[in-house]
A and B are shown apart, each in its own frame.
Chain A
Amino acid sequence: MGPQTRRHPLAEWFHRRGWSDLIIGLPYLWLLVLFLLPFVIVVAMSVATRTPTAPPFGYGGDNPVINLNGYARLLHDDLYIRAFLTSLLNAANAMILCLLIGYPMALGLTRVSKNWRNVLLMLVILPFWTSFLLRVYAWMGLMGKNSWFNGLLTSLWNWATPEGWAVTSIPMMHSNFAVVLVMVYTYLPFMILPLYSSLERLDPALDEAAMDLGTRPFGVFLDVTLPQSVPGIIAGGLLVFIPAAGELVIPTLVGDAAQPMIGRVISDEFASARDWPMASSVAVALLLIMVVPTMIYSHYQAKADTGERK
């Protein structure tokens, strides 16, 4: 009830005069044609049959109207299952590492003086504005066999381990390790920013109250700070996990070609194998496994939020 559910008088007028149809209609139509229709094509393509024609698929006629071969292969061919597992594992590892690094950073940002805070926040955001591709590239330079960074790590390793363990370089490139490292590097700001905004809102008096009641600083963190930052943790986690799971650029550049991630599989099925139905089946499966649950979750989260505010 209450005035929030009423239409704004301005909106009411635009609505009555039909102008609102135009204001809504133009972006609506755009998204229908250029987003929803392509998406429907993917779903339809996932049950089409691959043919040696151009475009390389058939539908009806000699071919079955609904061909579930793609989905069947998803379950039987362990290439796809392994690709899904690799993607989920890499994305989960990246998310957890981002949380472990990002949380203390975000908390640290709330404790520095106001002037420093603005500068440091800008430094967190700055890499986000520079090219994504170049940030991945910067690590390629560092991880390579002859790089100073690899040399540094190699000497550290040789110094710390017994005689027979010595190596000439550390094989970092083209591994899941490299993928996770670069994902953490590129997605860390997405973790820090929501965490920071949820931590910044906390009332310092709550910490003082807990200490006053006899809790030690680390206990204060566990009892007061951490529970209240859960929304920030979830938001940051999703912002890292979702793009990481579907990532294409990072695994292509620094990943292990023998253990492809799912984005790479979709791209290869589509472009190299020219198997549109299979690529579409994998895409639909990816959406069902990862994107739909998170969308449902955030839908309910948003509902719960507005419910709290009332």
Chain B
Amino acid sequence: MPDQPAPFLRIDGVSKTFGTFQAVKDVSLTIAKGEIFALLGGSGCGKTTLLRMLAGFEEPTAGRIWLDGQDMTGVPPWERPVHMMFQSYALFPHMSVAKNIGYGLKHEKLTKDQRMARVREMLDLVQLTPFADRKPHQISGGQRQRVALARALARQPKLLLLDEPLAALDKKLREHTQFELMSIQERTGVTFIVVTHDQEEAMTLADRIAVMDKGQVKQVGAPGHVYEHPDSRFVANFLGSITQFPARVSSVATDRATVEVPAFGATVETGLIPGLAAGEALTLAIRPEKLTILREKPAGLNAIPGEIKDLAYFGKDSLYRVILPSGELISVHAVNAKREDNRPDWYDKIWLGFEPASAILLRD
């Protein structure tokens, strides 16, 4: 992560209202030059509206967007150095691949040779040179995606917006394209803003992600940080899977706290969050992969008794559903690292162990 330079893109208190519906509520973000930034959220969370305001298709109802020191208010889409890769790709069906890529260049003062050279360069970048004369319906979905990318990059934008860039591709192609996008970003150095509903896509692609819900940014940070340290129940739930229980703080020490969890029928030790005080009611959340299934009660770890209710064996790993003394269920994910025939089975009485630091305490 680069240190904080002067922000390249500054979104300053932006809101957008459609009639009575508030699509985006007071969003402020700063994004550095050359970053891949992901806006992550479910449908209707406002991420697409925010993207469309960056592109200039919608004007913010309140707030301002600054790009490279320039106020973007009132600048129409055709004058913004911001280009977009549309979810549907939006390729012009009546133009060839090369014409599509070269379309934006006709608005620049370039000679015909320069323009053709740029198109060739772009075709080369996305490895589509042999398909230059094909029409969009004559190429595959993955190739269309690359044409859309090349078309958006051809004018060398300051900012590239990618709306669900991988959503229309099948799973196998998606992984490959993901790395290709990252390598193209590295080579061109253009700042990318990716809108996606797919948390894996956001986490692998982006340097930083912003999780959005109901028009608001809930949390911003590096993917690992947001995953391991979610600061709200929404974010914890949205990224990966997690089981949450109501809890109450019993006591607070210098480096850890003791928390009573009725569902566990026990108190457990956890890490600290700022301002924790004895007696506070909050939520304790724990991710399935942080739990270990043990035959004997472990020493030195948090330990909860349980019985295996369900299991799904995937080969390399397994997913268990464990019933707690209170009758509530908790998910446990185990990597089958060893060749073993005596794995925990249906109705086995077992113990669940976890590190104090693995428990997540959530107030919101």
Chains A, B in direct contact (C-beta < 8 Å):
yes
CB distance from B56 to the nearest CB of A (A): 8
Contact of B77 with A9 in the complex, beta carbons under 8 Å: yes
- A1: chain B residues at CB < 8 Å are 18, 21, 44
- A3: chain B residues at CB < 8 Å are 48
CB distance from B88 to the nearest CB of A (A): 12
Measured in the bound complex, the distance between the Cα atoms of B58 and A1 in whole Å is 15
Measured in the bound complex, the distance between the Cα atoms of B363 and A49 in whole Å is 82
Q: How many A-B residue pairs have CB under 8 A?
A: 14
- B56: chain A residues at CB < 8 Å are 9
| Number of residues of chain A lying within 8 A (CB) of chain B | 7
In the assembled complex, 5 residue pairs joining A and B whose CB atoms fall closer than 8 Å, in A order, are A1-B21, A2-B44, A5-B18, A6-B58, A9-B56
Closest to B78 in A: A13
Which residues in chain B, 57-84, are within 8 Å of chain A measured between CB atoms? Answer: 57-58, 76-77
Measured in the bound complex, the distance between the Cα atoms of B223 and A304 in whole Å is 44
Contact of B77 with A6 in the complex, beta carbons under 8 Å: no
Contact of A9 with B57 in the complex, beta carbons under 8 Å: yes
CB distance from B45 to the nearest CB of A (A): 13
1/0 contact trace for A64-86 toward B, CB 8 Å?
00000000000000000000000
10 nearest A-B residue pairs (beta carbon): A9-B57, A1-B21, A6-B18, A9-B77, A1-B18, A5-B18, A13-B76, A3-B48, A1-B44, A9-B58
Measured in the bound complex, the distance between the Cα atoms of B48 and A2 in whole Å is 10
Closest to A1 in B: B21
Residues on B facing A (Cβ under 8 Å)? 18-19, 21, 44, 48, 56-58, 76-77
1/0 contact trace for A1-17 toward B, CB 8 Å?
11101100100010000
Which residues in chain A, 1-49, are within 8 Å of chain B measured between CB atoms? Answer: 1-3, 5-6, 9, 13
Measured in the bound complex, the distance between the Cα atoms of B18 and A1 in whole Å is 8
- B18: chain A residues at CB < 8 Å are 1, 5-6
- A5: chain B residues at CB < 8 Å are 18-19
CB distance from A2 to the nearest CB of B (A): 8
Measured in the bound complex, the distance between the Cα atoms of B52 and A3 in whole Å is 11
- A6: chain B residues at CB < 8 Å are 18, 58
Closest to B48 in A: A3
Measured in the bound complex, the distance between the Cα atoms of B27 and A35 in whole Å is 51
Closest to B57 in A: A9
CB distance from B93 to the nearest CB of A (A): 17
Measured in the bound complex, the distance between the Cα atoms of B78 and A13 in whole Å is 12
- A13: chain B residues at CB < 8 Å are 76
Measured in the bound complex, the distance between the Cα atoms of B21 and A1 in whole Å is 7
Measured in the bound complex, the distance between the Cα atoms of B76 and A3 in whole Å is 19
Measured in the bound complex, the distance between the Cα atoms of B19 and A2 in whole Å is 11
Measured in the bound complex, the distance between the Cα atoms of B58 and A5 in whole Å is 13
- B58: chain A residues at CB < 8 Å are 6, 9
- B57: chain A residues at CB < 8 Å are 9
- A9: chain B residues at CB < 8 Å are 56-58, 77
Measured in the bound complex, the distance between the Cα atoms of B57 and A3 in whole Å is 12
Measured in the bound complex, the distance between the Cα atoms of B215 and A1 in whole Å is 14
Measured in the bound complex, the distance between the Cα atoms of B23 and A6 in whole Å is 12
Q: Other than the known A2-B44, A5-B19, A6-B58, what 8 A-B pairs have Cβ atoms closer than 8 Å?
A: A1-B18, A1-B44, A3-B48, A5-B18, A9-B56, A9-B57, A9-B77, A13-B76
Measured in the bound complex, the distance between the Cα atoms of B48 and A57 in whole Å is 63
Measured in the bound complex, the distance between the Cα atoms of B43 and A2 in whole Å is 10
Measured in the bound complex, the distance between the Cα atoms of B19 and A1 in whole Å is 9
CB distance from A17 to the nearest CB of B (A): 11
Closest to B23 in A: A1
CB distance from A8 to the nearest CB of B (A): 9
CB distance from B58 to the nearest CB of A (A): 8
Measured in the bound complex, the distance between the Cα atoms of B153 and A230 in whole Å is 49
CB distance from A9 to the nearest CB of B (A): 4
Measured in the bound complex, the distance between the Cα atoms of B90 and A9 in whole Å is 15
CB distance from A14 to the nearest CB of B (A): 13
1/0 contact trace for A127-164 toward B, CB 8 Å?
00000000000000000000000000000000000000
